[in-house]
Amino acid sequence: MTVLEEVLSANGAYADTFGAKSELALPPARGFAILTCMDARLDPAKYAGLSEGDAHVIRNAGGRASDDAIRSLVISYKLLGTKEWFVIHHTNCGMEFFTDEVIRGLLANSLETAALGEDGFYEVGSGPGSAEAKNIAWLTIADQALSVLEDVERIKAHPLVPAGIPVYGFIYDVATGRLVEVPAATAAGAVR
């Protein structure tokens, strides 16, 4: 089966037993949101115990507090009533293995998939590339705990985020499945 066929087959089985999920309300029943990385090893529904309808999960590369992530969080609170937010980055994140300069150089050479070696990503594809990558802030990560702290601070300082929302900072360990708190981040995200 192709990936497309596999996905449609799995969806058919899911829909066949959909049951009472058709009755779920639009606002998240448990009133919280998680901002986390798109990494395929992370399944927020499993690591945080979510069922359909429970919580908002906002994902991007790194789980970073980008303008678009903040857009989603503001909607999550303002229109859909979440009251607590989590920022969850993780160990062994791909965003640690390059810088803006590196990805801009790679994309300037070729749009094809690069390879990851001991010294980071390197080019194996052919051109043409594009200089457009210089217009994107890639939000790479040099230090996991610091990136969580920075993102919690950015969210808390945002003029569209009300002071009453606590924001918790964590790092998910891909070796154990455990959430490890970043105390400085949770402190920065506390309601004062």
Which spans of this chain sit near Zn ion (rule: CB under 5 A)? Answer: 37, 39, 93
Identify the burial level of 164 via C-beta atoms within 10 angstroms of its C-beta, where 0-12 means exposed, 13-18 middle and 19 or more buried: exposed
56 is in an annotated binding site: no
Least CB distance to Zn ion at residue 42 (A): 7
**In angstroms, rounded to a whole number, what is the distance separating the alpha carbons of residues 169 and 188?**
9
Buried b (16+ CB within 10 A) or exposed e, 67-104: eebbebbeebbeeeebebbbbbbbeebbbbebeeebbb
Instruction: Tell whether residue 90 is among the known ligand binding residues.
Output: yes
Question: Shortest approach of Zn ion to residue 60 CB, angstroms?
Answer: 9
Beta carbon nearer to Zn ion, 93 or 106: 93
- CB closer to Zn ion out of 48 and 165: 48
37 annotated among ligand-binding-site residues: yes
Q: Is 158 annotated as a binding residue?
A: no
Cβ closer to Zn ion: 37 or 161?
A: 37
CB of 111 to Zn ion, least distance (A): 22
Residues 6+ apart with CB under 8 A from 97: 116, 120, 121
Q: Which residues are annotated as a binding site?
A: 37, 39, 90, 93
